[in-house]
Structure 1
Amino acid sequence: MNAHPPAVGRGPAPAGRAPTLADVLALPVLAAGQPQVVTGLAQLERPVRWVHITELTDPASFLKGGELVLTTGMPLPEDAAGVRRYVEELTEVGAAALVIELVRRYHRPPDALVQACRARRLPLITLARDVNFLEVTQVVHALILGSQAEAMRRTQRIHEAFTALTLRGAGPQDVLRAAAEMSGRTVVLENLVHQALICEPSGSTVEEALGDWERRSRTAGPGDRTEVAGPEGWLTAPVSYQGERWGRLVMLPADGPVFGPEHVTVLERTAMALTVARLIHSTPWEHAAHRNALRELAEQRHHSPEDVHARCAALGLPTDAGVFVAVLVDPGPGVEGAEAEARLHRELRSAGVPALVGELSPGRLGVLLALRQGRPWRPVAERLSRAALALAPGAVVGVGSDVADLADTARSFREAARVMEATPPGQPLPADRSFHELPDVDLRRLLYALREDTRIQDYTERRLGRIVEHDDRHGTDLLTTLGHYLDAAGNKTAAARRGGLSRETVYQRLRTVERLLDTDLESGAHRTELHVALTALRVLRAGPGGHPG
C-alpha cells in the first residue's frame, strides 16, 4: 500500500491563510481516525478551501475546487475503468484530496483507486478508524472561515500601511522595504530594460536575488499584468500611470507555500505607491538607484563582495571590467546637483563609458568609471572634468587611483575624497589636466585639509605664537622676515633680497626670532618645524574656503 504517516505535532495554520492538507490531517478530529497518506505525499501543502461529504458516484458535479472529499467508499465503482473515471473527475474539478474510510466496505484501499490517484497526482488518504464526518466538516469549516476573516483583516492592514506610506510621501526604497517586510519575500523594482533598480531581500542575499538578473528577467514574460510567470515562478506586476509603463515589480518565490492573494495585494499596492512616489519625487528611479549603489560602494555598506557585484551588474555596470576609477565632483555654489548629475550622465553615455553617477552628499557628485582592460582612464576623467567645468567654471574634480576589483572601489573613493579635502576653491589646475589627483597633495594642501584639527592649531600656536604677539605689541614684522628666510631654505642673502632689506637687518631680526622662540635657526630640523608651522598659519589665516598662500 506504500502508506506514510502524516505530519504530527504540527501547529494550527498560520493566521490569514487557508489551511493545508497537512494542517487538516493534524487536527484531533481527523487524527483520531489514524490517517495514512497513500498517494500525494508531496502535495500536503495544497490549500483546503472546503469539506464535502459524498456517497455519490459523480461527486465532481457538486464541487468547485479545493475541497477535501470525504467518503466511506460505498459509492466507488466496481470496475477499474469506473474508478479511473471517478478520480479523473475529481482531479479535473480541482479537488484537494480524497479521504476514504476503511471501516465499512473496504479494509484496504483498492489497487485501482491507488493507481488512478497516483497517476493523476491526487492525494489519497485512508482512515483506519471510524470518524464523525459531520464533526470533521464543522471543525474544518470553522478553521477555514476563521482564516478568511483573518485574511480580510490582514488585507485591510496592508491597505492602511501603504496608504500611510503614500500620505507621508515615502520614496521607492521605503515602499519596497515595507513590501518585503509585509510579504516575507524578496521584492525587486526593475526598469523597462530589465535593470534591477532596487532590491529588498528577505530570506536571501542580494547575490542570490540578483545574480544574472537581466537574462532571468527576460524569461519571465512581458509583465503586462499581475501574474505568476517565468520558469522560476516570479510574481510580477507592472508599474504604470495612465497607460504608460514605468517599470515592473517582481516578488521572488521562497521555500514554503506558493503565492497567495495576500502576496498579490502587497505587490499591487506597492505598484500604486511607487506610481505616486514617482509623481511626487522628481529624481528618476535610475538616478536614485545609482546614488544608492555608489553610497554602498564608497561607504562599504554592502554585505559581501558577491552582493555588490550582483547589485551593480543588475544595474548594467560590467562588473568584470578591467579598471574601476572613482571621481568626485563639487560643482560649486549656484549649480543644481540634479543638473550636474544629468550632464555627467549624458557625457558618459555619449562617450560609451559604463559608469554609475549620483549624489553622494549635498553638493558632491560621485562617479564610478568601469573601463575594459587596456583602455586608459585619464582621457575619460579629463573629458568628464571638462564637462563639469563647462557647466560650472568653479567646479573642483578629484580622482582616486584605479582598482581592479569592484569591491575595492571604496579605496579609490577615499583617495578622491582626500584630494577634494586638500583642494581649496580657486586652486590652480595642473598644467596637463583639469582634475586633481593624490600626488598633487603637497604640504600646503595637506595642512589645508587638516586645518580644522585642533592639534595642527595647537602646534602652530606653540611654535609661532610668541613672534605673532611680539609683532602685534611692537609693530614689528618678524614673521614676514622669518617666512622669507624659511622659503629661501635658510639663505639669509636671498631672504634679504626677497624682503627688500639689508643683510644686517635680516641678521638682527633672525637673532630676535631665535631669542623669542628659544631655537637655533642654523638647525635644519628646527627650520623644518618652523616652516611647517608657518605654512599651517598661512592656511589658517586664509579662513574657511580661502586660498592658502
Structure 2
Amino acid sequence: MYDFRVSDYTSVAMDQGRLLPTVREILTLPPVLAGDPRLLVGERWADRPVRWVHVCEQPDLARFIDAGDLVLTSGMGLQNHPEEWLPVLETLTERGASGLFLELGRYFERFPAEVVERAEETGLALAVFRRQTRFVEIIHSVHRSILQRHTHELERIATMHAAFTKLGLTGPSTGEILQLARSVLHREVYLEDLAHRLVAFARADDSPAPVMADWREHSLRRPNVDQAAYDDETGTLVVPVGTPDEQWGRLVIPLGHTPTTAERLTADRTADALALQRLLDADHQMLEWQTRETLVDILFEQQYATEEDALMRCRAQGFPLNGQVLAGGGLRLPGLAAGKGKVSAARLRESLAWINRIVRDHGLPVLAGLAGPGQLRLIVHGPTENALEAVFAKLADRVRERRFAGETEPPVLGFGSTIQAIDGIRRSCHEAADVVAASRTADPQPYYRLEDVQIHGFLRLLHEDPRLQNYTDRQLAPLLRLAPAERDLLLVTLRTYLDHGRNKAETARQLHLSRPSLYDRLERIRRILKADIEEPRTALSLQFAIHALDVFART
C-alpha cells in the first residue's frame, strides 16, 4: 500500500472554495435567470463560494445558516416586522453567509434603503428577483452543480493516484515524476534543494521560465516550511521533499490560488514519489548527476531557444556559465567501447558516476554526460584559459589513478578548442571526440588537445569528407589495388621512407633492410605509382595521403 501524507494546510474553507460555485456563477444559472435577477450590492464579493442554498422566511436565522450559505427569501416572515431586516442582515454577516436574495412582488417591492446601505458596509451580497421565481429549482440546480464538482474532484484524485502508482512501478526518473505532476496539475513544477538551487523542473515546452532568471532570490523570499504550505504573497505551493528525519528538497508549484484537495494531494504524492526514488538510489548524488547530464545534452544538442535561455537555466541549476571560458571534452573507455547490451550500458553508467565523484570530491567545474559506446562527453568551464588548463591537468591526474574493470588500455582524455559562448560547445565537443580518436597515433600523454595530434587530428576532423577520401584514393590507387601482402609491404616502406625525410639510411635501419633491398622496393613503388617520390611536392602529397589512409583505418 502506498502511503501518502495529507498536509496541514491553512484556510480549509478557501481550499474548498474552488470546488464550489460562486455568487456570480449562480446568477448565471437558468432557474436564476428566469427570475430576472439584479445584484444590488456585492460586485466586489460576487466571487465568494456558495456552500449551500437555503430558503428561509423566519427572522431567526442563526440556527439554520452556516458560513458560505446563500439565503433565498420572499420576505414573508418579515412582512409585518420590517424592522427585523437589519437584525437579519447582521445575523447573516456574523454567520459568514455568502448572500441574501429577495423575491420582489409578493411581500416587498424593494429592500429597505438602510439594509442596502448596511450591506455595503458589511460585505454581504444582496440581489433581488424581479419576476416570480421557483426557489426549489434554484436549490436543485445549485446543489447539483456542487455535487458534480465534488464528484469531478474525486475522479481527478483517483486518476492521479492511479497514474502515480503506475509510474512508480517503472522506477521513474526525477524528470518523469515532475512531468506527471505537471500534466495532472496543468502547472509548472519545480524542484529545488535546501540551498535554494533549482535541481529540476517540468514545463509545457521545457524552456526556462522568467522566474528562473533569479531563482535563488525568488526562493529566499519564500518562507521556509517544515510542512506543505501555500504562500499567499507569491501564489506558490511549497512542499518539503524527503523523510520526516531528513528533508533534502522542496517542491515549488506556482498555482496563483489556494490549492484544491486534488492539487494538495497531487503535490504530496509528487513529493513522496521523489523521496521514494531517492531512497531507492544507492547514491544520493544521482539527482544532481542527472541534472548535469541533462544540461550536457541540452547544451550539446542546442535544445534552447536563445543563448540567454540556456544561460538562465544553467545559472538556476547551480552552474553559472555567464562570462566563462568553455571547452568540450571527451573520455574514451576502451574496455567499454566494444561492449553491448545492458551490461555495457550499466558499466558505462558506473563510469559516469565515477567521473562525477571525481568532479564532486575535487570541486572541478565539469559537467559530464554520455556520448556513445565507451564514450563520455564533458563540458569544462572556468574564468580564464589558464584556469581551464589547470582543470584539464587535475582531471587527467584523477583519471590516471584508476582503470575501469576489463580495460586493457587506459582511458583517453581529450579536449577541443576553448570558446567564449555556449553555442560553440557542440563544435568543441566534436573536436574533443576527434582528438580522442586521433590520439592513437600520438605520443602518450595525460590528455590531448588538437595541437597534440598534429596532422592526424586535422585529418580526423576531415575523415568523413568525400573529397579527402577521393584524394587519398587518387594518390595511392595503384598501390591499394595490389595483392594484400605486397600492398602492405610497399605501403609500410613508403610511409617509413617519407616520415624519415626520405633518408635512405635511416629508413633501411628502421625496416631492418639492406640498402640494396630498400632501393629495390623504392624503385618498385616509383614504377607502380608512376611518380617521382624524390620530388618534394610529390613526396608531401603521398605522405599526406598515407596518413589519411591511417585515419580511415582507425575510424
Task: Please classify the TM superposition score into its range, dividing by the shorter chain length.
Answer: 0.7 to 0.9
Point out where structure 2 has 5 or more consecutive residues left out of the alignment. Answer: 1-17, 337-346, 404-408
8 Å CA contact 2:359–2:366 kept in 1: the answer is no
Which of residues 362, 370, 385 is equivalent to 1:347? 362
CA distance in 2, matches of 1:61, 1:21: 22
Question: Take 1:378 and 1:508, find their aligned partners in 2: how far apart are those partners?
Answer: 49
Classify 1:506/1:384 alpha carbon distance in 2 versus 1 (closer, same or farther; 3 Å): closer
Counterpart residue identity of residue 136, structure 2: L
- Specify the alignment match of 2:447 in structure 1: 435
Partner of 1:239: 241
- Is 2:439 the counterpart of 1:423? yes
Once the 2 structures are TM-superposed, how far is the Cα of residue 539 of structure 1 from its aligned partner? 4.2
**Aligned-partner SS, 2:32:** helix
> Residues of 1 paired with 2:485 and 2:376: CA distance?
48
The 8 Å contact of residues 40 and 118 in structure 1, kept in 2 or not, is answered as yes
Deviation at 1:184, TM superposition (A): 0.3
- Cα distance in 1 for partners of 2:206, 2:373 equals 33
Q: Deviations over 1:49-71 (max 9, x none)?
A: 32222334464553343333333
User: Who is 1:483 aligned against?
Assistant: 495
Distance in 1 between the 2:450 and 2:118 partners?
77
Q: Which amino acid aligns with 1:88?
A: T
1:89 aligns with 2:91: no
Summarize the Cα distance change of 1:293–1:34 in structure 2 as closer, same or farther, 3 Å threshold. farther
Correspondence for 2:14: none
- State the number of aligned residues: 515
Greater RCO, 1 or 2 (C-alpha within 8 Å, sep 6+):
2
Matching residue's letter, 1:399: F
Q: CA deviation at 1:415?
A: 3.6
Q: Which one-letter code corresponds to 1:259 in the other structure?
A: P
1:421, distance to aligned residue in structure 2 (A): 3.7
The 3 A distance-change label for structure 1 pair 462 and 396 is: same
Contact 1:344 1:388 in 2 (8 A): no
Identity of aligned pairs, percent?
A: 31
SS of equivalent to 1:163: helix
Question: Could you give the per-residue CA deviations for residues 439-466 of structure 1, whole angstroms, max 9, x where no partner exists?
Answer: 3342223445666888866765554354
Partner of 1:531: 543
Between stretches 406-415 and 525-534, larger displacement belongs to 406-415
Is residue 294–residue 360 contact of structure 1 (8 Å, CA) maintained in 2?
Answer: no
From the superposition, tell whether residues 248 and 139 of structure 1 become closer, same or farther in structure 2 (CA, over 3 Å).
same
User: Aligned to 2:312, what secondary structure does the other structure show?
Assistant: helix
Distance in 1, Cα, partners of 2:428 & 2:324: 15
Partner of 1:390 in structure 2? Answer: 401
Distance 2:103 2:504 in 1: 115
1:467 aligned residue (479, 486, 489): 479
Name the residue aligned to 1:9: none
8 Å contact 1:49–1:67 — kept in the other structure? yes
- Which is worse superposed, 286-295 or 19-28? 19-28
- The 1:444/1:370 distance shift into structure 2, 3 A limit, reads closer
Deviations 1:103-128 (A, max 9, x none): 45655555554554444554444433
AA of the residue aligned to 1:269: R
> Which 5+ residue runs of structure 1 have no aligned equivalent?
1-15, 545-549
Map 1:141-152 to 2 at 5 A: 141-152=143-154
Provide the rounded CA distance (Å) in 2 between the counterparts of 1:101 and 1:293: 65
Q: What per-residue deviation string (whole Å, max 9, x for no partner) do you get for residues 367-415 of structure 1?
A: 4444347973322332222222224492322233444445654444344
- Residues 131-190 of structure 1, C-alpha deviation per residue, up to 9 Å, x if partnerless? 222110011111211222222122111111111011122222111101101110111122
Q: Is the 8 A contact 2:435 2:448 kept in 1?
A: yes
SS in 2 for 1:302: coil
Give 3-state SS (helix, strand or coil) of 2:225's partner. Answer: coil
Q: CA deviation at 1:287?
A: 1.8
Contact kept, 8 Å, 2:479 with 2:487, in 1: the verdict is no
Task: Tell me, yes or no, if the aligned pair for 2:193 and 2:199 is still in contact at 8 Å.
Answer: yes
For 1:257-296, what aligned pairs fall within 5 Å after superposition?
258-283=258-283, 284-296=286-298
- Return the TM-score normalized by structure 2: 0.79
Q: Which amino acid aligns with 2:449?
A: E
- Relative to structure 1, is the Cα distance of residues 312 and 146 closer, same or farther in structure 2, using a 3 angstrom cutoff? same
Instruction: For residue 250 of structure 1, give the secondary structure of its aligned residue in structure 2.
Output: strand
- 2:8 matched to which residue of 1? none
Alpha-carbon shift at residue 40 of structure 1 (Å): 4.3
Q: 1:399 aligns with which of 415, 419, 429?
A: 415
CA distance in structure 1 between the aligned counterparts of 2:90 and 2:142, rounded to whole angstroms:
28
Give the TM-score, by structure 1 length.
Answer: 0.80
Q: CA RMSD in A?
A: 3.8
Counterparts of 1:179-198 in structure 2, within 5 Å, are 179-198=181-200
The Cα of 1:319 is off from its aligned counterpart by: 4.3
1:476/1:113 Cα in 2 relative to 1: closer, same or farther (>3 Å)? closer
Deviation at 1:298, TM superposition (A): 1.9
